[in-house]
Amino acid sequence: MTKLRAFMFSMSILTILMVNTPASAQDTSPAWAYPVNPPDFKLTPDDGAARHVPNSTVSLTLTQVRDRFFAPDWHPEDHPPMPEVVANGRKPDVSACGYCHRTDGSGGPENANIAGLPAEYIVQQMADFKSGARKSSVQKRAPTELKASLARAITDDEVKAAATYFASIKPRPTIAVVETDMVAKTRVFAWFLAVDPDGGKDPIDQRLVEVADNLEQFISRDSRVRFTAFVPKGSIEKGRNIADSANEAIRCRTCHGSDLKGGGTMPGIAGRSPTYIFRQLYDYKSGARAGAGADIMKAIVQKLSAGDMIALAAYAGSLEP
């Protein structure tokens, strides 16, 4: 248990930004969808020990894992050669793309799985972050602020190289969606949730609780870590019904494809993080996410309740990517 606590309190990204979200923002946005680090968070010093992850011969220290200008490449066989901007970024303002999004683009619930997204779509999102059109409903949320800062510093050629690279990678299943009435208690560590080592359970209520199956792998930024998203019972079928709605103004498959895997410049949403999907729907509804396509999405999400968005996120996340 002591070892587990130490790993939990060694969240690497806190060396980048330690941002507390204003109470007013938290009051209006679901805290489970927009986790922020507790004020008393303390980073565990690197003891110099070598870290390992399953099915990898690579050895890295905690300092290396925490370096945002270095993408921990535990499984180089899982992806093509990385462009420099993906592997190492460019100091002082352009973090390695593979640091946050992992070397194969699989990401985590704190950011986005961008593997296999259309290159044109990725380029447009970077332009929206750069212009300020795309924000977060929680204005001081660190991942979005870091992304916006990077977008202002990165060059068009670097964006194109990263977008082409991530678009070339076939996404793989990383999510299990489990319907339940009760869920393990969680604590907020940085901007994601982790199972409380003290144990206990809480009613799921109207929440979506997504956690890494292996916290040590997650802390080490292992691209093969898997996640479980716990959702209220009936969510997947409810989400399927909304996606198949007779109301053409809501039907998700019209734009995202019959299998929700996207097509052309339209992003696939099948098999992506349910927490991330919910957050985007919520951001469109709040007006925080603008930019390309926002008018269409905002008109759709205005018709959806928070429960509807949880259901849609659960359904999409349950599909093969």
CATH number of the domain to which 123 belongs: 1.10.760.10
Domain final residue, candidates 121, 146, 167: 167
> Which pLDDT band holds residue 189 (cuts at 50, 70, 90)?
confident
One-letter amino acid for residue 117 of the chain: L
One domain, residues 187 and 94: no
Look at residue 248 in the predicted model and tell me its pLDDT.
Answer: 60
State which of 167, 197, 215 marks the end of a domain.
167
Report the alpha-carbon distance of residue 195 to residue 127 in Å, rounded: 36
| φ, ψ of residue 80 in degrees (nearest 5) | -70, 175
Are residues 152 and 290 both part of a single domain? Answer: no
Q: Which domain holds residue 246?
A: 175-318
Shared domain for 13 and 158, answered yes or no, is yes
Of the residues 167, 197, 222, the one at which a domain ends: 167
Percentage of the chain with pLDDT > 90? 76
User: Containing H/E element for 212?
Assistant: strand 209-212
Distance between CA atoms of 281 and 294, rounded to whole angstroms?
A: 10
Mark whether 191 and 215 lie in a shared domain: yes
Query: Is the domain of 109 the same as that of 189?
Result: no
Which H or E run contains 167? Answer: helix 156-167
Q: How far is Cα 287 from Cα 219, in angstroms, rounded to an integer? A: 32
Regarding whether 190 and 207 lie in a shared domain, the answer is yes
Q: Same structural domain for residues 192 and 262? A: yes
| Confidence class for position 201, pLDDT limits 50, 70, 90 | very high
Distance between CA 178 and CA 195 in Å, rounded?
Answer: 15
Q: pLDDT value at position 249?
A: 59
Same domain (yes/no): 220, 280 = yes
Same domain, 16 and 159: yes
176 pLDDT band, cuts 50/70/90, is very high
Instruction: Examine the domain organization and report whether 134 and 271 are in the same domain.
Output: no
Task: Give percent of the chain with pLDDT exceeding 70.
Answer: 90
139 and 188 co-located in one domain: no
- Tell me which of 130 and 4 has the higher pLDDT: 130
Pair (163, 191) in one structural domain: no
Average pLDDT, the chain: 89
Task: Give which of 120, 117, 128, 122 is closest to 152, Cα–Cα.
Answer: 128
Residue with structure tokens 């606590």? Answer: 5
Residue 8 has pLDDT above 80, yes or no: no
Q: Count of domains in the chain? A: 2
* Confidence (pLDDT) at 86: 98
User: Average pLDDT in the 272-280 region?
Assistant: 97
